[in-house]
Chains A and B, each alone.
Chain A
Amino acid sequence: MPRSAQRSLASLVSDDRAGLLERWLELQQDAGFRSDLISAEDLRRDSSAFLDALAAALGSDGNVDIRAEAYEPVRGYLADLSRGRALAGFTPSETATFVMSLKEPLFHRASTLSKDDADQLRETTWQLTLLIDALAMFSTDAYLRTREEVIARQAQELLELSTPVVKLWEGVVAVPLIGTLDSARTQVVMESLLERIVATGSSLAIIDITGVPTVDTLVAQHLLKTVAAARLMGADCIISGIRPQIAQTIVHLGVELGDVVTKASLADAVRIALERTGYQVVRTSGA
């Protein structure tokens, strides 16, 4: 890139910085300003700081490769900003618009500065396009990375939250399953159930599937694996909370539940569990 083009890129941003900022802010407002998520002062402060960082990066070597050392502050600032916007609830396009809307004012200034030199204008425009596109993509990447972190964390929390093993009675534990069962969750459920069986010395375990929306062959297989493992340790399992539709599905799929005890409701399962452990439930007063 010719020396003059580099200089002009730097001067595009730094000369008349105030005018550029005003025009940019105006465009951001037009593109759909989220006044519910960010105040006008915050937007002005963000935009101003970004322009400063960009001007410094362009001024130091005039290169438009944003992976270069000089762009470190710009990347850092943009990553933080995109991250903040992802967490605040901006959409990806709203986040990308922050950088993209800088194109128009910069192009406009480029054409004013070199209106007599078509070659230089073309060169400057091209370099600006490269720069802004790269920054916009970087911003979107940072946005997505943040969102993915949030999703991964939520999935992990869901995994841990959704599998509590509760001690129901002396020698009886229950695990209320909620949500779809996949291999990873079955593994967690199985491990925590078996560990609780050992810890509490329970000889009966109730697996309640009221909160499981669908049962397919894979889910049934996972359930049967859990039952088989518990049996190997010396604990019997009762599967409860089987809704009529699920019972139909199980029959239609031809799933063989073998000699696993199944009950329609958790109440029935509790009654059977108490009977097996030698308790009797007696109502003391008429109601």
Chain B
Amino acid sequence: MDRIPILHLGDLLLVTIQVDMDDQLALQLEDDLGEAIVDHQAHGVLIDISAVELVDSFIGRMLGSIAAMARVLDAQTVVVGMQPAVAITLVDLGLSLPNVQTALDVDAGVRLLGGLWSRDRTTGG
């Protein structure tokens, strides 16, 4: 069965979704990501969906639950590169993903995670 590859870069994980997600693939990704965060002790997850042109409410909710799961495992999730049409669709579906961080592209996402970590270190000690 197809899987979405999870790349390991330092203490962050990069997931690039290049295919249109189906429900099975999304569930598999959630499982794999949970494993990977624990295995690599990752503190950040970047999900690049710039190649995704189609979403439904299930995939939208899945992004939210992946972020929530990662937070429980002490990792920040940033969704990057969402296409305008996808953003409009999600808003129309009523899924504005209030608990998910977003950034324009992978570069901005990495910087955003860097900022979050340095803040954590200064405040958390």
Interface residues of A (CB under 8 A from B): 190-191, 194-195, 197-198, 201-203, 225, 228-235
Contact = CB atoms under 8 A, between A and B. Distances in A.
A231 B96 contact: yes
Interface stretch (B1-9, B26-34, B37-45, B103-111): B103-111
A170 B104 CA distance: 14
Contact of B96 (A201, A202, A203, A232): A232
Contact of A228 (B79, B80, B83, B91): B91
Nearest to A225: B91
B104 A195 contact: no
B48 to A, nearest CB: 11
B51 interface: no
B14 interface: no
Contact of A229 (B81, B87, B105, B108): B87
A260 B86 CA distance: 21
A104 B88 CA distance: 63
B102 interface: yes
Contacts of B102: 231-234
Nearest to A259: B98
A203 B91 contact: no
B24 to A, nearest CB: 24
A233 B91 CA distance: 11
B15 interface: no
Interface of B: 79-84, 86-88, 90-92, 96-97, 102-105, 108-109
Given A228-B96, A232-B96, A232-B97, A194 B87 contact: yes
Given A228-B96, A231-B96, A201 B105 contact: yes
Contacts of A201: 104-105
Nearest to B104: A234
B80 A229 contact: no
Contacts of B87: 194, 229-230, 232-233
Given A194-B87, A233-B84, A234-B103, 12 more contacts: A198-B84, A198-B104, A203-B104, A225-B92, A231-B102, A232-B86, A232-B91, A233-B102, A233-B104, A234-B82, A234-B104, A234-B108
Nearest to A235: B104
A194 B105 contact: no
B91 A229 contact: yes
Contacts of B92: 225
A228 B82 CA distance: 12
B88 A194 contact: yes
Contacts of A234: 79-82, 102-105, 108-109
A153 B9 CA distance: 55
